[in-house]
Amino acid sequence: MIRVLYFAGLRDLTGKSEELIDRPGWTVRELTDWVEAAYPEFKHKNVFVAVNEEYARPDDVIQAGDTVAMIPPVSGG
């Protein structure tokens, strides 16, 4: 299982802070495509993806037991 975490406004958009997905071996791009299909509003968001607390590239492979964080852009002052 892959644990997917949704932060800030993405949590509001999905209605949940996390979910488990049984799709090990997917790339970050494949997971992002799945999330966009499940939650169409994601297509209009600029989302950063981290796997096991490190920013990930679209072609990185996600393994069973990994934690994936979907992070919206943040700004501060």
Residue 73 has pLDDT above 60, yes or no: yes
Residue 45 has pLDDT above 90, yes or no: no
Confidence of residue 37 (pLDDT cuts 50, 70, 90): very high
Residue 77 has pLDDT above 60, yes or no: no
Portion of the chain with pLDDT greater than 90, in percent: 74
| DSSP assignments along the chain, one per residue | -EEEEE-THHHHHHT-SEEEE--TT-BHHHHHHHHHHHSGGGGGS--EEEETTEE--TTPBPPTT-EEEEE------
Q: Please tell me which of 29-33, 41-45, 72-76 the model is most confident about, judged by mean pLDDT.
A: 29-33
Q: Are 68 and 50 in contact (CB under 8 A)?
A: yes
Indicate the fold that domain 2-71 takes in CATH. Answer: Ubiquitin-like (UB roll) (3.10.20)
